[in-house]
Amino acid sequence: MTPPAVTRDRLRVAIQKSGRLSQPARDLLAAIGLTWRESRDKLFCYGESLPVDLLLVRDDDIPGLIADGVCDLGIVGRNVLVEHGLEREAAGASSDLREFRELGWGACRLDIAISEDQEWSGPEDLEGLRIATSYPQILGKWLKDQQVKADVVTLAGSVEIAPRLGQAEAICDLVQSGGTLVANQLKPVQTLLHSEAVLAGSGTPPEGARGELVELLLRRLDGAMRLKETRLLMLRSAREQMSEVLTKLPDGHEPTIMGIEGSDEVSVQMLCHAAVPWQQLEELKRAGARQIMVLPVEGMLA
């Protein structure tokens, strides 16, 4: 069913109310200039700096709020976004959901895991087994693609203990460090999906004022993501050593070199694409650089 037409001018962004994606999402949105006034029930934040409001909801609810037109954008795990899209497709509903940007945190994998003492030669080893998961749509599609017939046992949580309880012979669950699998005598054997936090929205962007706000937020987000690892490198060097110092500079923008009045030294400033490791700083010093500083960049307009 097509969502009803929305006539509001204010943009709505859904984020996780609590959980591992909640605070990073708030920090990122604050970094691109958004401020809010939070409601008493702490479920809604009214945008003050821009007409952009936040809805604080369960992670699993975010894709549905976007698909139904209640929200325009959402910060959610890719695993949740993909599962919801496949679920809507299976129900014959529209799944016009789009991943706009990777956000670089909340990384994990959706893995199939089996008993530590079980042999693994490939997907065919799952034939006829029961596989416990909280992601039945992703798992079911993968099994179909692999032409493997297995029973999908859908569980809301505690998937990793299903084999010990006799509910399944294998599991398909999110893995970060792998410690939980080890604790339950399981080993990962197949990755179905690499996941992280993403900015998602409808494949049909809003028009008018809300569409302009989406474009504005995407531009700011791109700038913030570029600045995330950007550093300003500053140093001084004798003129005669400058050519050697230049060969040791990290990757980045073209350096700005300025003479220092009354001195045979020059000053160098350079925007670097990533953090500058200590080893590289020591190489610069050996080449003749001194007073070396690496500073974070909080904002930049090209």
Same domain, 51 and 186: no
**Segment 71-118, tens digit of pLDDT:** 999 999 999 999 999 999 998 887 789 999 999 889 999 999 999 999
Same domain, 255 and 118: no
- How far is Cα 62 from Cα 170, in angstroms, rounded to an integer? 29
Tell me the HSE value of 154 on the side-chain side, using a 13 A CA sphere: 7
Classify residue 301: in a domain, yes or no: no
- Asked which of 147, 174, 195 is the last residue of a domain, the reply is 195
Same domain, 37 and 173: no
Which whole-number Å values give the CA distances from 239 to 107, 236, 262, 263, 266, in the listed order? Answer: 46, 9, 13, 10, 6
Same domain, 113 and 185: yes
Same domain, 63 and 209: yes
Closest among 58, 55, 20, 184 to 117, alpha carbons compared? 184
The total number of structural domains in the chain stands at 3
Amino acid 1: pLDDT: 47
Q: Which helix (H) or strand (E) holds 210?
A: helix 208-228
Same domain, 221 and 96: yes
Torsion of CA 165, 167, 168, 169, to 10 degrees: 40
Classify residue 163: in a domain, yes or no: yes
Classify residue 1: in a domain, yes or no: no
Strand 256-259's sheet: what is its strand order? 256-259, 265-272, 231-238, 289-296
Same domain, 102 and 57: yes
Mean pLDDT per block of 10 residues along the chain (302 residues) reads: 61 94 93 90 91 95 93 96 94 86 93 96 97 98 97 93 95 92 95 96 88 93 81 94 93 91 92 88 94 85 60
CA angle 236, 237, 239 (to 5 degrees): 135
Task: Give residue for tokens 């007073």.
Answer: 291
Same domain, 214 and 93: yes
Classify residue 2: in a domain, yes or no: no
**CATH number of the domain that 17 lies in?**
3.40.190.10
Count the neighbouring beta carbons within 10 Å of the beta carbon of residue 5. 6
Same domain, 167 and 32: no
- How far is Cα 296 from Cα 46, in angstroms, rounded to an integer? 30
Same domain, 201 and 261: no
* E strand residue ranges, 226-299: 231-238, 256-259, 265-272, 289-296
**CATH number of the domain that 271 lies in?**
3.30.70.120
Classify residue 4: in a domain, yes or no: no
Q: Integer distance in angstroms from the first to the last C-alpha of the chain?
A: 43
Classify residue 235: in a domain, yes or no: yes
What b/e sequence results for 242-279 when a residue is b if at least 16 CB atoms lie within 10 Å of its CB, and e otherwise?
beebbebbbebeeeeeeeeeeeebbebebbbeeebeee
Q: Are 269 and 248 in contact (CB under 8 A)?
A: no
Classify residue 302: in a domain, yes or no: no
Same domain, 201 and 102: yes
Classify residue 82: in a domain, yes or no: yes
- How far is Cα 231 from Cα 140, in angstroms, rounded to an integer? 45
Burial class (CB in 10 A: 0-12, 13-18, 19+), 73: buried
Same domain, 50 and 102: yes
pTM: 0.78
| Residue 169 domain boundaries | 108-195
Closest among 123, 103, 119, 99 to 111, alpha carbons compared? 123
- Asked which of 210, 225, 240 is the last residue of a domain, the reply is 225
